[in-house]
Amino acid sequence: MRLLAAILLAAALVFAGAGCGNDEKPHEPVLTGDLVAGGTYDPAGHKGKVTVVNFWGSWCPPCRAEMPDLVKAYDDLKGDDVAFLGINVRDPNVDQAKAFVEQYKVPFPSIRDTQSKLALEFDVVPVNIPTTLILGKDGKPKKTFRSAVLEPDLVAAVREVLGSG
């Protein structure tokens, strides 16, 4: 009986500690990759800045509805210490992504993420877009919008992150 109690106690201790691991990722995701417009994105362009990262797809109706607000927010914030970056998710054809960028006159660069690797690194479900993250100057997410965001809400959130250091 004592042996059974000891085994059960040992098992309970093992399972009790199973969920106590560190939830932090072993590394911060690196925002780099091939650009929709051609070339490769250099992450030095946003280092030390508050960065707005928008995950979008040309096939996504809410993304199309949201993009004019993102362009307005970019125009409102371009004098501040803020960078904008688009992440094109699941568009297998670069021409579709280019047409989207041209149609909405997107003024900021967009990385192609056809396999959704960057999306998953930032805990963005690739079918749950648009998603917009605001990264602090340290590169860590400070705010997340998991649906289309309006320009006034995005500008206010970015200014809040800018003000918090």
Query: What is the total count of domains within the chain?
Result: 1
pLDDT of 1 reads 57
- What pTM does this model have? 0.82
Residue 3 located in a structural domain: no
Beta strands in the chain (DSSP E): 33-34, 40-41, 50-56, 82-89, 110-113, 131-135, 141-145
For 91, the domain range is: 29-163
Mean pLDDT of successive 10-residue segments in the chain (165 residues)? 47 44 55 95 91 97 98 94 96 95 98 94 92 96 97 98 84
43 in a domain, yes or no? yes
Give yes or no for a contact between 69 and 150, defined as CB atoms under 8 angstroms apart: yes
pLDDT at position 114 is: 92
Domain membership flag for residue 22: no
Closest CA to 132 of 87, 99, 162, 78: 87
Q: What's 124's domain CATH number?
A: 3.40.30.10
Q: Give me the residues paired with residue 50 across strands.
A: 82
Per-residue pLDDT at 54? 98
